[in-house]
Amino acid sequence: MILIVEDTESLRKLSRKILEKEGFSVDEAENGEIALQKISGETKYSLILLDIMMPKMDGMEFIKNLRTFSEIPVVFITALSDERSQVLAYENGADGYLTKPFSKALLLSMVKRFEQKSAKPVSYDELTLFKSSRGVFINDEEIHLPTKERELLFYLEENKGTIKTREQILDAIWGYDFYGNDRVVDKHIAKLRDRLGESNRFIKTVKALGYKFEV
């Protein structure tokens, strides 16, 4: 699923039409606040196309918030063509930068590149993860995980080598509006480890801090 974050409705609808015609699933948000709410929900996005100049929460503020809990690829699509804006975008965690106006062909080629990359499986010894389908395989045999445990695994892997606190995990997996105790993370990590068997060695506990995926 691709999320288009753009305050100009006509541009948002046009981009959506182009992508859906090529078979992509697309969602929309008119500003950064709405986009963060969507990302904190059940829908999992593989790519975000992000404008900079928006009301309530602009693109730069949005990506700063996003990068505290997620590494979803982000491509800025903006009228700002100056070098300073581009440098700032990449410093804040952007994965690409496309200047308006752009051609249909250029938009599609960039989106296809990111989608193809996310479709490739990643393997760690006997553990293989298919990011696009959220499939989990151990020794070529698929294991079925409950939704939260599966998303926990993919979230930690997508941020491999980085310590994630319980609060960051809660925001990413349960959403900003979750009011439960952060010990729910520990309980789900324990269940995930049980299901992974020997492959649970990739999920490390960092005392007093949180968890990380480490090869």
Q: Which residues, at least 6 apart from 199, have a Cβ–Cβ distance to it below 8 Å?
A: 124, 125, 126, 127, 138
Residue 153 banded pLDDT, cuts 50, 70, 90: very high
Structural domain boundaries in the chain: 2-119, 122-213
pLDDT of residue 28: 94
Distance, in Å, from the CA atom of 99 to the CA atom of 77, rounded to the nearest integer, reads 6
Band of pLDDT at residue 183, cut at 50, 70 and 90: confident
pLDDT in tens, 92-148: 889 889 888 888 899 999 898 888 777 678 899 999 998 767 789 999 898 888 888
> Is the confidence at residue 48, as pLDDT, over 70?
yes
Residue 177: the pLDDT is: 62
The pLDDT-based confidence of 191 (bands split at 50, 70, 90) is very high
Mean pLDDT of 50-55: 91
Rounded-to-integer distance, Cα 2 and Cα 30, Å: 14
- Closest CA relative to residue 46, chosen from 95, 97, 104: 95
CB 17 within 8 A of CB 23: no
Condensed to tens digits (0 to 9), the pLDDT of residues 82-99 reads 889 899 999 988 988 988
pLDDT at 131: 75
Cα 94 to Cα 32: distance, rounded to the nearest angstrom: 15
Q: Is 18 exposed, middle or buried (0-12, 13-18, 19+ CB in 10 A)?
A: middle
Q: Which CATH number fits domain 122-213: 1.10.3210.10, 1.10.10.10, 3.90.1530.10, 3.30.70.3000?
A: 1.10.10.10
> Cα(36)–Cα(34) distance, rounded to whole angstroms?
6
**Whether the predicted pLDDT of 169 surpasses 90:** no
Cis peptide before 73 (omega within 30 of 0): no
Confidence of residue 29 (pLDDT cuts 50, 70, 90): very high
Query: At residue 202, does pLDDT exceed 90?
Result: yes
Query: Tokens 């293989």 belong to which residue?
Result: 128
Interatomic CA distance for residues 129 and 138, integer angstroms: 9
Tell me, yes or no, if the two domains 2-119 and 122-213 fold the same way: no
Residue 180: pLDDT above 70? no
Q: How much is the pLDDT for 139?
A: 93
- For residue 100, give the DSSP letter: S
CA distances from residue 1 to 28, 48, 142, 145 in whole angstroms, order as listed: 10, 9, 23, 21
C-alpha to C-alpha distance for 45 and 128, rounded to whole angstroms: 20
CATH of the domain spanning 2-119:
3.40.50.2300
